[in-house]
Structure 1
Amino acid sequence: MIAAFAILLFVAGANADNRIVNGEEVTSTSVAPWQASLQQGGSHFCGGSLIDATHVMSACHCRKSFVNVVLGTLQYKNPKYELYSTDFKCHPSYNSRTIDYDYGIITLPEALPSNDADVSPITVANKEYSEGTNAQITGWGRLTGGGVIPDTLQVAYVNLIDRSTCQDTWTIVTERMQCAGGQGEGACNGDSGGPLAVKDNGVWVLVGNTSWGASGCSTGVPSAWSKNFAVYSWIQANSNISV
């Protein structure tokens, strides 16, 4: 069993191992037009997902006093849209020790256009998805620990894992956490806050936000995303998503 001390938050930093692990380069913004890069001083440190014209979903552990939100691009250094925000709200029950309730919502200072295919909100999940459901993860992180951050957005596909199965590896998993991966692909630092998305009857749905995983970004054990369905009413109350 992996001990709790082996957990690593997936935010970029001096010791980060930043990237979607064993993924591939995204070649079109249509793959994840909701993908956001959170930056300070031109440096990417976390991801996020556009959930309506003025709100980006992320992870609370990514919160900073201000953030530049970059959208509409595959190369985080070449933003199509870049918006400065000081409004980064965390779930009031967030616990930095247990990493529970790892939810954050950024309010943008202006609405993004509704007629640009490069930026499109993703629907927030309002139901559970079963173990084995295939999901898409995207982000700008290193391929392996200590590697360089790629300029181009990466994508990989993982299967969801239910809580009881995941607790065989991680005893700290709560009802607010969605486990996935562990079969060779996964997320790592710098991917924090980014999307875990499922295609449901042709519609992409935001199941979770990249939260934590094994130290060293091992792809042999599951990682955890904060599960949006568990706090759907809070997300609704702090954004403009439709019912």
Structure 2
Amino acid sequence: MPDLNGRIAVVTGASRGIGYHTALELAKAGAHVVAVARTTGGLEELDDEIQAAGGAATLVPMDLTAMDAIDRLGAAIFERWGTLDIFVANAGILGVISPVGHIEAKVFEQVMNVNVTATWRMIRTLEPLLAKSDQGRALLLSSGVANSCKPFWSAYAASKAAVECIGRVWAAETQRLPLRVVNVNPGATRTRMRAQAMPGEDPETLPHPSDVARKLVTLCGPELTTTGLLYDFRQDRMLSYHAPD
């Protein structure tokens, strides 16, 4: 586990699942965690665990569809710390598993707003802060369906493909900075979203979110030297994207 003492980290979707455990592991490694989520109860539980582990957190109850609130978050971090070292874009929603033509417009738009637009808006407000760090790290959570284009997963798959594209472009734009940007495919994980998508699956056959979280925290350390790649948790390696024609 890297030594993250003195580092400031933002984690979205921090009230449960991979986000919750990533925030906890970052705090255990010494980072001050700015935990963002819509569910206040989950954030308070996280704060209790972080304090019990000797860490510190700032809780930000926020709906990521409130775009103005995202803008204010960057300003608040600047006023308090003046910089940011780690950004884990974990928040996301599944929508529905349904044929493309059967998805309600409001459901499709909500998936895009939470998974794509809010991620872009977070990047826009946090990039100037990450650029000030001597070891900036941005991890954007994706999914295997972004590339497999699994039937009935169109909204979620399209949103994660868009996130990966944004991550790759952002990495190329910032490659001269100390900032490293990595897309992450955690694979099937024992989360509420996975249970929603695959209700008949035995969750005990899947990795626990804490397993994924510990690996994500290692990517926030100095040993990460590459940018613009895809980290696959199941394969435990970085994957390169195809070069453009």
- The alignment's TM-score, normalised by the length of structure 2, stands at 0.29
Q: Which has the higher strand share?
A: 1
Higher relative contact order (CA 8 A, sep 6+): 1
**Structure with max Cα Rg:** 2
Q: Which has the higher helix share?
A: 2
